[in-house]
Structure formats: structure tokens, C-alpha cells
Chains A and B, each alone.
Chain A
Amino acid sequence: MKNPCTLNFSKLGCNKGGRQLFSDVDCTLEAGRWLYVTGANGVGKTSLLRMVCGLSSIEYGDVLWNGQSIQAQHDAYRQDLCYLGHLNALQESMSVAENLTFTCALGGMAPSAAQTEQVLTRFGLRGRSRQLVRHLSQGQKRRVALSRLALSRARLWVLDEPYVAMDEAGVQMLADLIAKHLADGGLAVVTSHQRVPIGDIPAQILELRAA
């Protein structure tokens, strides 16, 4: 069994365009738990998530992974991290399987053709692996992007509005996938305007308010 991981925010704050979005956010997330980040539009949910990933620089406070600042352990942290943002990171002129294989490769994983097919089937994309992404619907593209999670070895999933464009079955399947990840000792940070329960694991709620 892998070591249990923890994620801490310590006095995290963010300024955008001279305006303070949030400040002094403290939070501790243990292995097997998930953090539900909520708040009104424009309150800084995406900014918070980008700071957690290390995509945006952290100006105030710090994000700690296993007790150590993520800025001091870029490489180790990135191996543990899987981020899904608003953008799906799919090239329109490549096929579903090519896209999935490539994003997995960036994460240091090389799933076999059978493994990708299995995951795509689970995500309701059976027989679509050779289709070009440009021919898929928005919801299907989101599913392709999400299927990457099932092939990832990351311990921490950071998901920005993962349920957007998904139908009911897709939302349920994603919730089940996150529940399984948490049961395996993973962590998840999720923002969403839909309050979707993840198995029977209670959410740790972080409500951002305008400062």
C-alpha cells in the first residue's frame, strides 16, 4: 500500500488584476477524502485550482503536499497530480485513442490498446477509438478527457467543473470513478455548480467568499 498523502492550504490568497479574490484560505485534506470547492461565479475557484496545480504562481500563503511546499518539489508533485481544466486538451484532428494515448504518455503511462479500449468502453465510447475528436459531441469530448483519469497513477485529482456537458449517466459514472479513486487512498479537489454526491464519502466543503 502506498503512503497516505495529505494536501494542505496554508493562508492561501489570490489577487487578480489588482482585486483581492480570496485570502487566508486554510484547509487540510487527508487521503481518501475529497474537497468540494464552491462559491459564486468569479470568486476564484478556477484560480485556486490553478494554484493548487502549480500552473499559477502562489503569491500569498502556500500549498503543501505531504507537508512540503509544492514549489520545492515540482517533479515529485507532478507525478502525483492529474489536472482536468475547462479545456479538454484534445487535438481535433487526432483520433480518440491517439489523444488518450498521448495525454497518458505525458503522465508517464503507456496503456496498451486493450486497456484504452476497455476504459473507453466504460466511458460509453465503445468502438469510437479510431474516430476523429472533431466528429464527437461536447459531452463525448468531455468523456474522452475524463477517461484519462482512469488510466492515471496520480494520487491527487484536481477537477475543474468536470460534469460540464455530461449527461446523467456520465455524471454518475464519473462520481463512481472518483469514489473508487478515494477508496484506493486517493484525494480529489472538485469544483462544480452541480452538487453531485461521491459514493457515500462526505465532502469536505470549502466555500470561497469575496474578500
Chain B
Amino acid sequence: MSTTIRTIGLGQVMLAVLKREVSLGMRQKGEVLTPLMFFAVVASLFPLGVGAESNLLLRMAPGVLWVSALLAAMLSLQRMFAMDHADGSLEQMVLSATPLGLLVLAKALAHFLLSGLPLVLMAPILGLQFGLDGRALGLLMLTLLLGTPTLSLIGSIGAALTLGVRGAGVLLSLLILPLYIPVLIFGAGAVEADAAGLGIGGHLSLLAALTLASLGFAPWATAAALKIALE
């Protein structure tokens, strides 16, 4: 090679992973849209099933929307590493001089952008079916925005642990859904507490704390699980 090739730092390698994941997601629209449609359908079934009793719907709304969001986020987790595992890209990521934890962080961020963020944006529209008012809808969006990154981060551990396992989907749900419980409690709890006229500072702080904790911890757990999966 006549000219020397430019070298790049850690941040740019992570950015390259993020860009690749997002661009792959944009090309496989079906796989990105399916969980979002699932979210819309599940959240819409409840008002139909429960009937038009507005008080009941109003009380259920935060819980139902949060549970639907958890399930929808689960659906897209499986594809997080599966393709890279099948085609050998994962080996190259493990062998990269960039720590695997940072690459996982970039992948989890991409998962949030493609699955968590759309859920946040869809939530107020679905919330209207339950008769939530503007303040509750805004708060629902805020809690989802604080909570969905945790879903992607903790979910990445499960996706890595079930890599290459037959029937991975069900196993993944069994592993990960119990870990989502704190996010669900504080996420849905904040909207309910506000409706009851209680303070919500504690709920939001705990949600943010969960996100920060999983940000520091989950990528490394996932990296360790991925290395085991490749052995």
C-alpha cells in the first residue's frame, strides 16, 4: 500500500459498530417493526377485553403499557447477536483490540434506538385509548425513556447467554423477565403515584439509578457470556 492507512480510536470503533447496527436495522425493517406492531396490538387488546369502564382502564394503563413494552423489547433481543454469531462477525469483535464490553455497549445503544425509543414515541398514542391525560402521558414517556435503556442493557446479557441454544426465545424470557421486575415496578409505579397525588422523585431517581448501574455492569457481563458462547 503506497499511502498509510489511518488508525482510529476506541470511540470511533464504537461509533462504527453503532452505525452498522442502525443501518442493518433499517434494512431489515420487518424485524424492527414486528416488535413495535406487537406493542401496539397487545396494548390495544386490553381496552377491548376489559370494556369501556373508564376508571378501571385508567388505573390499569401504566402497568399494561409497561408490561407490553417489556414484552415487545424482549422480542427483538434475540437478533442482537444471533446474526453476528452465525456469520463469524462475533469472532472478529471478540478479537478486536477494542474491549468487547465497549462494543456490546454500542450494540445495546443501537438496540435502544431501534426498539426502545420507538416504544417511547408510540406510548402516548396508545395511552389515549386508556383515557390517560396529558400529564400522565408525558410522565409515561419519561419513565419509558429512563427505563428502556435498561431493558436493552440487561437484555443483552440474556441474548448472549442463550446464543446458539435451541429454543432460545423462551429461555431468554425466563432469564430476563424476572430481572426486568424492578424497572417495571418503578416505571409503572411513578405514573400511578403521580395520579394518586404522591411524589414521584423517588421512582424516577431509582429508574435512573437502575439505568446507570446496568450501564456500568451489563456490557461486561454480556462480554463474558459471549466469550463463553464462542469457546
Mark A residues whose CB is within 8 Å of B: 53-57, 75, 78-79, 81, 83, 85-94, 98, 101-112, 115, 118-119, 150-151, 153
CB contact between A115 and one of B1, B7, B8, B24 (< 8 Å): that residue? B1
A-B contact count (CB 8 A): 102
* Whole-angstrom CA separation of A112 from B5 in the bound complex: 7
The digit string for B77-96, where 1 denotes a CB below 8 A from any CB of A, is 00000010001110111111
Q: Which residue of B lies closest to A80 (CB)?
A: B97
**In the bound complex, do residue A91 and residue B24 qualify as a contact, i.e. CB atoms below 8 Å apart?**
yes
Cβ-defined partner of B16 (8 Å) among A79, A93, A102 = A102
With A98-B20, A153-B5 as contacts: A106 and B12 at CB distance below 8 Å? no
Asked if B28 lies at the interface with its beta carbon under 8 angstroms from chain A, I say yes
- Residues of A with C-beta under 8 A to B9: 108
Q: Roughly how many angstroms separate A85 CA and B8 CA in the complex, as a whole number?
A: 24
Cβ–Cβ contact A108 & B13, under 8 A: yes
Q: Say which residue of A56, A75, A93, A151 sits within 8 Å of B5 (CB atoms).
A: A151
How far does the Cβ of A89 sit from chain B's closest Cβ, in whole Å? Answer: 4
Q: Which of B174-193 contact A (CB under 8 A)?
A: none
Residues of A with C-beta under 8 A to B88: 85-90
With A57-B231, A112-B6 already in contact, the answer to whether A106 and B1 are too (CB < 8 A) is: no
| B residues in contact with A118, CB < 8 Å | 1
CB distance from A151 to the nearest CB of B (A): 6
Instruction: List the interface of chain B (C-beta within 8 A of A).
Output: 1, 3, 5-9, 12-13, 16-17, 20, 23-24, 27-28, 83, 87-89, 91-99, 103, 230-231
**B interface: dominant SS:** helix
Q: Which residue of A lies closest to B15 (CB)?
A: A105
User: Which single member of B7, B17, B20, B98 contacts A153 (CB below 8 Å)?
Assistant: B7
Query: Is B5 a contact of A83 with CB atoms below 8 Å?
Result: no
Given contacts A106-B95, A109-B7, 4 further A-B contacts (CB under 8 A): A94-B27, A107-B97, A108-B97, A150-B1
A83 touches B83 (CB 8 A): no
Complex A-B: 26 CB contacts under 8 Å: A55-B95, A55-B231, A75-B97, A85-B91, A87-B87, A87-B91, A88-B88, A90-B88, A94-B24, A98-B23, A101-B16, A103-B92, A105-B8, A105-B12, A106-B93, A106-B95, A106-B96, A106-B98, A106-B103, A107-B96, A108-B7, A110-B7, A112-B3, A112-B6, A115-B5, A151-B5
B13:A83 contact, CB within 8 angstroms: no
Q: A55-B94, A87-B87, A103-B92 are in contact. Are A110 and B24 (CB under 8 A)?
A: no
A130 to B95 alpha-carbon distance, docked (Å)? 26
Residue numbers in B under 8 Å from A78 (CB-CB)? 95-97
Contact B95 A111 (CB under 8 A): no
B8 contacts which chain A residues (CB < 8 A)? 105, 108-110
With A55-B230, A102-B20, A106-B13 as known contacts, state yes or no: A89 contacts B91, CB within 8 Å: yes
CA distance A83 to B5 in the complex (A): 19
**Least CB distance, B116 to chain A, in whole angstroms:** 23
Of all chain A residues, which has the CB nearest B3? A115
Report Cα–Cα, A89/B89, bound state, in Å. Answer: 4
Chain B residues whose CB sits within 8 angstroms of the CB of A93 once the complex forms: 24, 27-28
Smallest Cβ-Cβ distance to A81: which chain B residue: B95
The 8 closest A-B pairs by CB, nearest first: A87-B88, A105-B16, A89-B88, A106-B96, A78-B97, A79-B97, A110-B6, A110-B8
Chain A residues near B16 (CB-CB < 8 A): 101-102, 105-106
CA distance A110 to B15 in the complex (A): 12
With A55-B230, A87-B87, A153-B5 as known contacts, state yes or no: A108 contacts B24, CB within 8 Å: no
| Nearest chain A residue, comparing its CB with the CB of B93 | A106
Contact of B87 among A91, A104, A153 (CB under 8 A): A91
Q: Which residues of chain B have C-beta atoms less than 8 A from A110's C-beta?
A: 5-8, 12
**Distance between Cα atoms of A102 and B230 in the complex (Å):** 20
Check if A109 sits within 8 Å of B6, measured CB to CB. yes
Contacts of B28 in A (CB 8 A): 93
With contacts A56-B231, A105-B16, A110-B12 known, is A89 near B5, CB below 8 A? Answer: no
